[in-house]
Amino acid sequence: MKELALFGIGCAKKFGASYADIRIIHAKNESISLRNGMVGGIDRSETLGFGIRVLVNGAWGFAASSRVEKKEIERTAKLACETARASASLKLKGVTLADEPVYDEKWQTPYIIDPFKVPLEEKLSFLSRIDEVLRKNDKIKVAHSWMDFFFEHQYLAISSGTFIDQTLMRSAAGYSATAVDKGEVQRRSYPSSHGGIAKTAGYEIIRGSDLLENAERIRDEAVALLTAEPCPSGKYDTIIDGTQLALQIHESCGHAVELDRVLGSEANYAGTSFLTLDKLNKLKYGSKIVNLVIDGTIPGGLATVGFDDEGVRAGRYYIVKDGLFVGYQTNRELAKVAGEKRSRGCCRADGYSNLPMIRQNNLSLLPGDWEFEALLEDTPGGVYMVNNKSWSIDQQRQNFQFGCEIAYEILPGGKLGKIYKNPTYQSNTVQFWNSCDAICNEDWWRLWGVLNCGKGQPPQTAEMSHGAAPARFRKLNIGIAR
């Protein structure tokens, strides 16, 4: 593959490219689902192809093909250069890329068990055991369990001389139970409603998981929610679990600090951002204990790689430090706009046939120093919310409402009391993060995966993880979803 990749770079230069990169990608995916004891789907796919990106006269061109052979590579390189030349005739400003060292390296996701070599019978048997537990109450009308595995082998060559051989592996699994009675519908998911247990790892994370051990509790909670009291309305001190905070981080910070969105070039799909350049290093985004960090090197993160799709080595950077907004997620084209000398390695594409763009990296809220039990004890009369159920956020990533699957009354002495159904909370991003006054410690912190983040026109899907521990938000406006 290296020979073909270098041939593609040579073709792009021959047709006039001042810069070129080529990604040759072999990818495999397997998705398995069980619904009410029946196989809901077994989907397997495998692709091989390449994409060539070029700069001609300061403008981008891109073309891709599934025929990985020299004649087709040459044709595709010529098409990419012709596209760039046409784009250059309309450009307002030429593209310049931030510097990046030249690499010749090989990188691979660490894993123990290749999920694609695990027998299908073992996977279905495990899901069936979960399904059997979930359906032991006749009020559970839908029991859904699933697994998903992804493999990608990428060869990246860049005209600067970089060549990277990179292999990625991802495994995920989860389930939900939906209870129905007398017109009421309630659902509980485990371990989270977005991504389940999802990591860059092999099948070992499923064999070593607590998925089966929690199935009875999740079933019983779904049934109990049918007759639970509605969540109270008003301003309450609220502890939000890491399962929900992960999506909160994703929507109110992750998308808001994608620099292409800030500059308006990503407005069509999901809006722009209130975190404009004039707020950098000035805006008090959150309280002093709020620290948000992107990290493409953290073990298990769904966006953990050796290098992004522009050949930028993965790194770790603050986005919010001690409450102050200090950085964006960038690529090589836009890094200098944010005052950075190098990209922060946030450029990825969905497969070989799409153009790389700024995508969320692993973005996490750093842990604090509270034990969970102590935080509960310090929040009498408050509410504890768990696991996302719904979300809505405006086009600037400011005003939002999130719904959770379940909430708990916090009693004096730190005990959890009765459960509440249909809990929601509403706020705006800056007010919300400034109301955060306590975060649990490392023992309660974990990565939560997002498997299906959409962006771009035409749309692309990407995966990333968000680390969080339970945290408290003072006088949060909570209420009932109807």
Q: List Cα–Cα distances, 299 to 108, 200, 239, 465, in angstroms.
A: 12, 8, 27, 11
Q: Is pLDDT above 90 for 194?
A: no
DSSP structural state of residue 275: -
Residue ranges matching CATH 3.30.2290.10 in the chain: 2-225
| Strand 415-421 to 399-411 pairing | antiparallel
DSSP structural state of residue 435: T
What is the distance between the alpha carbons of residues 395 and 179, in angstroms, rounded to a whole number?
34
Q: Is pLDDT above 80 for 480?
A: no
Q: Provide φ and ψ at 341, rounded to 5°.
A: -80, -30
Architecture per CATH, domain 2-225, reads as 2-Layer Sandwich (3.30)
Give the pLDDT confidence score for residue 267 in this predicted structure. Answer: 82
Q: Which SS3 state, helix, strand or coil, does residue 26 take?
A: strand
DSSP structural state of residue 313: B
Distance of CA 267 to the CA centre of its chain: 19
Query: In residues, how long is the chain?
Result: 482
Cα torsion 368, 369, 375, 378 to 10°: value is -110
What's the rounded mean pLDDT across residues 132-161?
A: 97
Q: Is pLDDT above 80 for 268?
A: no
Give the pLDDT confidence score for residue 481 in this predicted structure. Answer: 64
What is the distance between the alpha carbons of residues 49 and 64, in angstroms, rounded to a whole number?
7
| Strand 229-230 to 415-421 pairing | parallel
Q: Is pLDDT above 80 for 70?
A: yes
Of the chain, the percentage scoring pLDDT greater than 70 comes to 100
Q: Is the pTM of this model over 0.75?
A: yes
Mean pLDDT, the chain, whole residue set = 96
Of the chain, the percentage scoring pLDDT greater than 90 comes to 95
Give the pLDDT confidence score for residue 482 in this predicted structure. Answer: 59
pLDDT in tens, 400-440: 999 999 999 999 999 999 999 999 999 999 999 999 999 99
Helix axes 70-88, 2-14, angle to 10 degrees: 40
